[in-house]
Structure 1
């Protein structure tokens, strides 16, 4: 979590000019000055808003500000959270005026709102009205455009002593400030299209995924923003408690201060203060805090009434603090929005936005009168809403909610792609990285502090030295460009052409009781295309040598794929686990055999040709067909080599699996031709579009599947004859505020099993190792790998529930570390499984990366076994919505 130097400035003269320009005033015309409180203390990141042109900026850490203005008459508004707003009327005429402003502490008046019967805090009435109108605010504008300036400054505050030499080698210094700046033109088109064009970027480091753009370009009027539940969400009362702190006056607006407190502290919720404009029921400003995987994010934002029609954000301030594995860091971001141009939605336009929303829960008499005055609902509810608002009549929260829902439904019916919930277009101007110091001095709305100037100076000097080093090394590198002999041992990638590459994979050694030590050597050739609609090609040959068997084998895989289809052909001679889903990773099997003397991976050999074709018939339905010819050969153990000789274990177990339904799973050499067809549908799938590419919204629809698999007898000498049907469903969804439920279920049967071998049985993802490496939803923790494999009927179900607060997570400091608790239940029914059931508990996110599980198994309700497992944190490795 720290910045790395990236770019160089080639000329010393340019460097010196840049240093001078950073410290000079950037504008020849406008206003500049300092904001301070009554004691003379500077007010950092105060908001300065120019009403006539919809432009906002902020002061820097020292309270200094500067705004470029054309000649004219302006109303300048100065705002700082906790202080009274100041307004200055300024005439600009070809000069740069100094305007220093002193702000007074804000006077907050306690309730003008009277506490009602039942002693409910007045905050709940205010928030009910604001929540009721939130959807209106999201639909109020047909669009807007603006310019956004973002400045980020970050530093590494501390790091482990073991990393000191590495960081010094990379040029990373403790306490040094690394800076990035960008200017973007943004455009929003209702209901869901957002366009951003980056016109300039200057950076001496990386943001390491701390960018606040999700918050800057999101909206707290939406139910969620950056995966965080908004206090204006319809579900807000389930997630938050509210407290009325009083009302203050900002020019002609009365603003209520509302304290927001999560009912359960942790990720995806906020705490702090929301300021709500009375009568408008819109956001005035906020000072809040949230966490993400134990990292603190502090947010301050100020809104302004653009053209006196809509309250939109004009400045944001962010601070990101965290400590990960001894690396302590701090990032500060500042975003200002200027040059707002808005277009109102004519369907919802009214002369005044001071909508009188009646809270029927408190003001029962007023609500009855409002309902009595309202006409019966007509088909054109939008017109009805506009007429009532224009006439100044009251409207209840429920009426507003109902009318807005109807309005959205009408719009959805008119849209071509109602399943698309958002569309973004992101573009970087070709000259964005080429702007010099003079440009930044002229366009920068927030003056740099001396510390930030020093950071740019140091980064430019470092970049100059690195550029010279790289230039000096060019000849040396060119002598050894391309393939190196040692690449055969360690692997490497090579760019063959603009759209293709060649890769030598690292030779991966392994061990099992059938082959002894073995090594897999693989190379691959593929195309690299930015446009995912175009077809990509990959060809991957692999060579494998088994030292104990003294057998060489290999295969070749050919693949074509794009957004619509995937076509694969693979063939050769290779070993394979009896369960084609490969429940045991080779590296885990190495550990189990060499150190624990447990031979769990069961292998057979096949000479084969596999063909797969998958096609998306629509956005919601895909179909896949497979065909395979195989000549199968049974394998036996060939070695008893081990690293640790445990006296309690005599020898490795046989390579022949043990099964409850098939006493002898061994088989003679034979041929098999099999085929399958699968249909997968996600009927309610939603998409986000980014740069014309569609991306699925995770868990927006359950995944339903149907599979038919056939063993075809007498074709190409095939010795198998069976038919199998399977249906399945998988999904994840929130259950209120308490947690998230994931489930998977699969059920199937063999219509006939006239001729089958053990690898044709239905197998399940069991586990007898200390490690959990498969999907937490869809796998078992203690089940033997092959004992309950079946050629008959079966049902397998998995439920995985993640709590927001349970046992150890009942302590807030534990939740703030990113820890999550889960319980899971796994069930298997086959003719011999005796209602096999697992019940387990896990702690997820230990040290942010690991998961510790404990499970107990039962058969027919009787205790059977227990065990503990270690895995990678589920949110890092598993997409629960995957098929």
Structure 2
């Protein structure tokens, strides 16, 4: 009874002090306007209505001005006095009265949208440099819902406790800080979620800006190259909150991924964003973005609300989600060098004035142009671009972190999960809808069940202890304290077939232990049983890592008996070889056995330079076919000997021999860029070309080694963006055997060929039709691969195909050595089928004459570069 009375007292006290403003926002027809923006002028805070157009703002007693906004409607300012309790304030917004400028638009005349956008684009770099620092508090809410899923996944979906009608929701409040040019710090101070209360990560605040040339690898309408991607249409100008705003329709020149469509509103004279309502499609998933900006300082417009809606279908899973962020308590430090008003002149429209301004500074340097800027005079777009570029270059020159593109910290306060529902009811700026409330109700019931299970209070406790038989068969991972774990890989993942071993089974365990932040140890025993040979083999791999993250050292010792492909780069995946052998009677994979000890050392001096050293002592022996079993026995005998066929070496069989091999490689990325996350430096892929030099030596007469050769190889790999549509990948490799006195076929240089219709190899650096060993060599060689990805070519001219994310490729592969006869492959491919696959048609030539053709299916190229 005492506890009950205390609860009543707390609730009554809370209710007596709770107050603010609440209501519904509608249009003149009485229709609700969901996600309308409400800005409280006195507190500098922004919020939105929910999906039912209802809002509720907690405010202390006092007088307030509330500004209501919705894209396409005139903003409305309401004054309200808050005392005790809530003030009910329903609002009706009128459609925006848009006036066309007094501009004559006729055939041959340019749409006035273009001069507006030219000025806004010219000013975009100014806006990114305008603020030295800001801090703010951000409320974020992310919701998601699984709408449909494949029928075959129904059991697993239910087992995971996922209800298609259930809304998953996460709320958080963060303190954010931005420091020019690229530092973002975020501290999450409270979290409320329908996931595991301690393990669900909150949504981070999205700091991407439409003033940047790209946003999530999509071309911004304010990018310097926007006119190559977009057409713009002027739809009128309106007065709102004391400024003049122009409404511009953004129209992609070619519909497809990575281009926006919709409306962007530009503040005249400031040429900043007032609001935007844009869509973009990435791989068939549609993103709808709404942002509303406010003048936080004179001439400084920053977003106060973000609304993202995403929906799509991936591999049969249909989903939708929403991300909402409201920003308040802005504190801004303006860059004193750019604390000015600038009147931008468009050379294409105001020709005489632009020519006059250009004459004034045509012999001046950037410093004097800067003086003109600070004086507040007019400048042309070209002058503004020139001085901002020089300004940015000077800052980069003085900076010690010119190669850092972003520096972000993300921290969760230790008390973030401890706040109760009363706390959230008070601070939540956007009321929950019915679906979100139901999601939280389900969370509460699930958490209660989970707590009872953990405390052993239920009739059925599903937690198991120890290793069970099904884990030995299906695999599992066991945490052994905070810094160690044991992982059992399912033997089914290592179950394969080849004509040498028949069916074979790999069974692998991994024990890993972290000693501290700078060192860890991993031990992995592996057993392999070959049923046709009735032979057990295996290896033991020990990996010790030590050093800082950006200068990591890896020492790897592996020993045992195992089988290898003649090409140690493994051109044929065991799964594909299993399928081809059992169903097509083709045994392309050729293997041999070795007893070996291998010691490798890898050192990252930094992300620019990487060193690899390798030494191996082995006893190698040839293997022969032991079975011709196949599920489909085709007419004729298609299985071949386990001895590869080579044009250079008449007989590739070899006697049992010893080999001592030493090798090293230096990899250099001279222009690598980085992102820093929580003080961890992370290299950005494809930000630099990769140069590599490797050397391999076969040493004779040491430990009875019977090989004597020297191989030197150099390589170059890079990716280029060409024009507005193209992505070119290039991989060049050349090598020479400086000495080949004593070699076996296992020591020859082999190339990544392809004879199966399926491939798992990197499409840049591999061949599609090349025989695996016919062109192997112990002389000099050159291999080149070029893969050009088109945004629009043949089938991608169809909008629905392009919008699904499909791309087309044209590629050339070339091999030159003493036996290859200038082997060349020309191919056409369709990329990102169902988002992850590629289909290719390839033709091969020798000395320019037709040789062969084929169809290949593989994993999409450039898959990592699209996100």
TM-score w.r.t. length of structure 2: 0.93
Moved more, 781-790 or 485-494: 485-494
**1:233–1:26 distance in 2 versus 1, CA, 3 Å:** farther
CA deviation string 1:154-174 (max 9, x = no partner) = 323333444444434444333
Cα distance in 2 for residues equivalent to 1:794 and 1:475: 70
Among candidates 509, 514, 521, match of residue 500 of structure 2? 514
CA deviation string 1:788-820 (max 9, x = no partner) = 010111111111111111111111111222222
1:606 aligns with 2:590: no
How is 1:260-271 mapped onto 2 (pairs within 5 angstroms)? 260-271=250-261
**1:161–1:764 distance in 2 versus 1, CA, 3 Å:** closer
Cα distance in 2 for residues equivalent to 1:61 and 1:123: 32
**1:474–1:619 distance in 2 versus 1, CA, 3 Å:** farther
Q: Offset at 1:620?
A: 1.1
Aligned counterpart, 2:412: 428
Cα distance in 1 for residues equivalent to 2:149 and 2:642: 49
Q: Offset at 1:667?
A: 1.2
Among candidates 165, 170, 178, match of residue 180 of structure 1? 170
Cα distance in 2 for residues equivalent to 1:483 and 1:176: 35
CA deviation string 1:539-591 (max 9, x = no partner) = 11111222222222211111122532221111111111110101111111111
Q: Offset at 1:139?
A: 0.7
How is 1:174-573 mapped onto 2 (pairs within 5 angstroms)? 174-205=164-195, 216-350=206-340, 353=341, 355-374=342-361, 376-378=363-365, 380=367, 384-385=369-370, 387-469=371-453, 471-472=455-456, 480-507=464-491, 508-528=494-514, 534-562=518-546, 563=549, 564-573=552-561
How is 1:770-785 mapped onto 2 (pairs within 5 angstroms)? 770-785=757-772
Moved more, 865-874 or 160-169: 160-169
SS at structure 1 position matched to 2:779? coil
Q: Offset at 1:458?
A: 3.4
SS at structure 2 position matched to 1:560? strand
**1:459–1:27 distance in 2 versus 1, CA, 3 Å:** farther
SS at structure 1 position matched to 2:339? coil
Among candidates 801, 811, 830, match of residue 788 of structure 2? 801
Aligned counterpart, 1:692: 679
Instruction: Decide whether the 8 Å contact of 2:366 with 2:386 is kept in 1.
Output: no
SS at structure 2 position matched to 1:41? coil
Which blocks of at least 5 consecutive residues in structure 1 are unaligned? 1-12
SS at structure 2 position matched to 1:181? strand
CA deviation string 1:267-296 (max 9, x = no partner) = 111100011111001000001101121011
**1:276–1:319 distance in 2 versus 1, CA, 3 Å:** same
Cα distance in 2 for residues equivalent to 1:26 and 1:255: 43
Cα distance in 2 for residues equivalent to 1:236 and 1:425: 31
Cα distance in 2 for residues equivalent to 1:374 and 1:107: 42
Instruction: Decide whether the 8 Å contact of 1:545 with 1:553 is kept in 2.
Output: yes
1:655 aligns with 2:639: no
Instruction: Decide whether the 8 Å contact of 1:510 with 1:587 is kept in 2.
Output: yes
**Which of 1 and 2 has higher RCO (CA within 8 Å, sep 6+)?**
1
Name the Cα RMSD after superposition.
2.7
Among candidates 821, 834, 859, match of residue 846 of structure 2? 859
Q: Offset at 1:205?
A: 4.6
Aligned counterpart, 2:797: 810
TM-score w.r.t. length of structure 1: 0.92
How is 1:622-701 mapped onto 2 (pairs within 5 angstroms)? 622-649=610-637, 652-701=639-688
Aligned counterpart, 1:8: none
Moved more, 72-81 or 457-466: 457-466
Instruction: Decide whether the 8 Å contact of 1:593 with 1:599 is kept in 2.
Output: yes
Cα distance in 2 for residues equivalent to 1:180 and 1:61: 16
Cα distance in 2 for residues equivalent to 1:831 and 1:619: 37
Instruction: Decide whether the 8 Å contact of 2:171 with 2:202 is kept in 1.
Output: no
Instruction: Decide whether the 8 Å contact of 2:452 with 2:458 is kept in 1.
Output: no
Aligned counterpart, 1:10: none
Instruction: Decide whether the 8 Å contact of 2:172 with 2:203 is kept in 1.
Output: no
Q: Offset at 1:25?
A: 7.6
SS at structure 2 position matched to 1:402? helix
1:712 aligns with 2:702: no
Cα distance in 2 for residues equivalent to 1:320 and 1:702: 35
SS at structure 1 position matched to 2:843? strand
SS at structure 2 position matched to 1:52? coil
SS at structure 1 position matched to 2:137? strand
1:41 aligns with 2:31: yes
Cα distance in 2 for residues equivalent to 1:856 and 1:479: 57
Cα distance in 2 for residues equivalent to 1:546 and 1:777: 34
Residue-pair matches, total: 853
CA deviation string 1:237-281 (max 9, x = no partner) = 111111111111112211111111112211111100011111001
Cα distance in 2 for residues equivalent to 1:748 and 1:214: 48
**1:424–1:849 distance in 2 versus 1, CA, 3 Å:** same
Q: Offset at 1:143?
A: 0.8
SS at structure 1 position matched to 2:507? strand
Aligned counterpart, 2:112: 122
Instruction: Decide whether the 8 Å contact of 1:634 with 1:667 is kept in 2.
Output: yes
